[in-house]
């Protein structure tokens, strides 16, 4: 097992306007290691006045024609690539800190957070260098000069499960577009955001372009409704997303909401069970079950149901559960004692509703916020386990006759629509089924995630999309200038 290298982390200042500054309040929040329950560290909590200062700094940078506000695509791209380099220099420290905060196994904590953040910065740096600021279009009379301008100051509210990558889903395209940001990291995982601030400073990101203000929910609402903020980008639960979307709507702010999921993997009768279980962890149990895209509803035809149940159960049984810094660990702890208790309450509800667990389903004892990896079978669509997102290491298996129409109807019978999968050896039938799933992303005989393709939810899983070159448009205003002549340079 790799040795832990981080001592207790104490952060007393906030990163605002390119400087480390004292907060207006004396409030602090303590972080507990999800594996050992020892204190990882604590940080200063921002107040309303700190948010005001951060928004003012972001607006100053946005309007600085001699600085960030005057940078063209190539200059912004150069800053972003230096930022990526600085993130990479901290990849081990970021990975270990996120492992301690969240319980994510170290390899995933580092790869899916630090490495993804750096990749996103480089990806959008490349995209913006290829994108014109203006283009000229013929009009009925004269011409239309279409101009792309940054939408403004963006409030970015990140979740705790992938605290770094989900932040850069927002921050990288926003920086590429020329926006500035005020970041509110998740309360339970805010310590890693201070390393992001250090990387920004080292990379020479201009003062005020990135401001980081860990704060409570009430002050977070102040950020969302602040008149100096033009857009809100949020990842988190559907309930909180409704609240933030409502606040943004009252103030007519642009909003992107990436919310919860209860995704379905649909197996057709000719599905390869061997291929399915090969992808089971990434598909349904990633990050100890703490992944919004996990396919936690398995929809299985009667002809192969018993074989799938046996294969899934034995696969889950084979996974080592343990310390997330151990390279052999597949399943680590969850983020907090409260979250562990919430998952185990769902386990009890499942049993009272008549389902059974072929493995797990009980309460894990001992030190650390461990939860038993669980497979629930004979789950019907009216059960809570089928309906609600428990965000832990568990799947439900539901039987259907084998008729594809019935399988699709069961898979689509959800208020969520974030992810999904279809397993079949019939490519044509599988892709047709994938096109008919009411969800934002679908895997065909695989689990995958691609920063180069759009990602977003349907129904209660969100509003708008992230990732792909297309995501830059979420951070742009378009301006049309009518002109009777062709402007110089075109």
Same domain, residue pair 377 and 437: yes
Q: What are the beta bridge partners of residue 477? A: 149
320 domain residue, yes or no = yes
pLDDT of res. 489: 87
Same domain, residue pair 229 and 330: no
Go through the chain and tell me how many residues it has.
490
pLDDT in tens, the chain (490 residues): 555 566 788 999 999 999 999 999 999 999 999 999 999 999 999 999 999 999 999 999 999 999 999 999 999 999 999 999 999 999 999 999 999 999 999 999 999 999 999 999 999 999 999 999 999 999 999 999 999 999 999 999 999 999 999 999 999 999 999 999 999 999 999 999 999 999 999 999 999 999 999 999 999 999 999 999 999 999 999 999 999 999 999 999 999 999 999 999 999 999 999 999 999 999 999 999 999 999 999 999 999 999 999 999 999 999 999 999 999 999 999 999 999 999 999 999 999 999 999 999 999 999 999 999 999 999 999 999 999 999 999 999 999 999 999 999 999 999 999 999 999 999 999 999 999 999 999 999 999 999 999 999 999 999 999 999 999 999 999 999 999 999 998 9
Same domain, residue pair 94 and 188: yes
Same domain, residue pair 437 and 466: no
Query: Domain holding 186: CATH number?
Result: 3.40.605.10
Same domain, residue pair 163 and 230: yes
CA gap 61, 175 in Å, rounded: 12
Same domain, residue pair 342 and 210: no
Among residues 258, 344, 389, 466, the one annotated as catalytic is 258
4 domain residue, yes or no = no
Same domain, residue pair 246 and 368: no
Helix, strand and coil in the chain, % to nearest 5: 40, 20, 40
pLDDT of res. 6: 65
Q: Provide the phi-psi class of 354: left if phi over 0, else alpha when psi is between -120 and 50, else beta.
A: left
449 domain residue, yes or no = no
As for how many domains the chain has, the answer is 2
270 domain residue, yes or no = yes
Same domain, residue pair 290 and 253: no
pLDDT of res. 176: 98
Same domain, residue pair 166 and 270: no
Q: Residue 234, SS3? A: strand
158 domain residue, yes or no = yes
pLDDT of res. 5: 61
Specify whether 258 is catalytic: yes
Same domain, residue pair 286 and 398: yes
Same domain, residue pair 434 and 477: no
Note the pTM of the prediction, 2 decimals: 0.96
Query: Domain holding 394: CATH number?
Result: 3.40.309.10
For residue 219, what is the enclosing H or E element? helix 217-225
Same domain, residue pair 362 and 229: no
Boundaries of domain holding 384: 264-444
450 domain residue, yes or no = no
Q: Write the CA distances from 488 to 135, 136, 141, 275, 444, integer angstroms.
A: 12, 11, 18, 59, 49
451 domain residue, yes or no = no
349 domain residue, yes or no = yes
Do β-strands 14-16 and 19-21 pair in parallel, antiparallel, or remain unpaired? antiparallel
């Amino acid at each position: 097992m790799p040795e832990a290298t981080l001592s207790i982390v104490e952060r007393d200042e906030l990163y605002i306007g390119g400087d480390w500054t004292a907060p207006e309040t004396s409030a602090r929040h303590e972080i507990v290691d999800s594996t050992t329950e020892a204190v990882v560290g604590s940080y200063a909590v921002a107040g309303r006045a700190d948010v005001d200062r951060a928004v003012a700094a972001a607006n100053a940078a946005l309007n600085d024609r001699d600085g960030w506000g005057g940078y063209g695509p190539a200059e912004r791209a150069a800053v972003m690539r230096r930022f990526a380099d600085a993130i990479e220099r901290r990849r081990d420290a970021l990975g270990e800190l996120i492992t301690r905060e969240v319980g994510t196994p170290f390899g995933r904590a580092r790869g899916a957070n630090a490495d993804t953040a750096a990749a996103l910065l480089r990806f959008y740096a490349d995209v913006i260098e290829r994108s014109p600021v203006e283009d000229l279009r013929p009009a009925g009379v004269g011409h239309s000069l279409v101009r792309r301008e940054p939408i403004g100051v963006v409030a970015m509210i990140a979740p705790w499960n992938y605290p770094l990558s989900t932040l850069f889903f927002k921050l990288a395209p926003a920086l590429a577009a020329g926006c500035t940001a005020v970041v509110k990291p998740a309360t339970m995982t805010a310590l890693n955001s201070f390393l992001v601030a250090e990387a920004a400073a080292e990379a020479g990101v201009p003062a005020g372009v990135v401001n980081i203000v860990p704060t409570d929910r009430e002050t977070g609402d102040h950020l969302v409704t602040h008149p100096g903020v033009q857009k809100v980008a949020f990842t988190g639960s559907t309930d909180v997303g409704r609240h933030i979307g409502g606040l943004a709507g009252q103030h007519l702010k642009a909003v992107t909401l990436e919310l919860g999921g209860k995704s379905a993997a649909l197996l057709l009768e000719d599905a390869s069970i061997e291929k399915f279980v090969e992808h089971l962890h990434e598909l349904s149990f990633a990050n100890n079950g703490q992944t919004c895209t996990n396919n936690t509803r398995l929809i299985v035809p009667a002809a192969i149901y018993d074989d799938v149940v046996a294969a899934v159960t034995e696969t889950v049984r084979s996974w080592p559960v343990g310390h997330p810094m151990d390279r052999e660990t597949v399943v680590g702890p969850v983020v907090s004692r409260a979250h562990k208790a919430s998952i185990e309450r769902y386990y009890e509800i499942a049993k009272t509703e008549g389902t059974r667990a072929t493995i797990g389903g009980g309460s894990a004892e001992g030190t650390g916020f461990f939860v038993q990896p669980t497979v629930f079978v004979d789950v019907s669509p009216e059960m809570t386990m089928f309906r609600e997102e428990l965000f832990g290491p568990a799947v439900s298996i539901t039987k259907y006759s084998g008729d594809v129409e019935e399988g699709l109807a069961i898979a689509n019978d959800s208020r969520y629509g974030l992810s999904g999968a279809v397993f079949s050896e019939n490519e044509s039938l599988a892709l047709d089924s994938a096109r008919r799933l009411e969800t934002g992303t679908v895997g065909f005989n695989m689990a995958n995630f691609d920063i180069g393709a759009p990602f977003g939810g349907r129904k209660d899983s969100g509003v708008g999309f992230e990732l792909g070159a297309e995501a830059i448009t979420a951070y742009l205003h378009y301006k049309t200038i009518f002109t009777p002549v062709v402007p110089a340079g075109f």
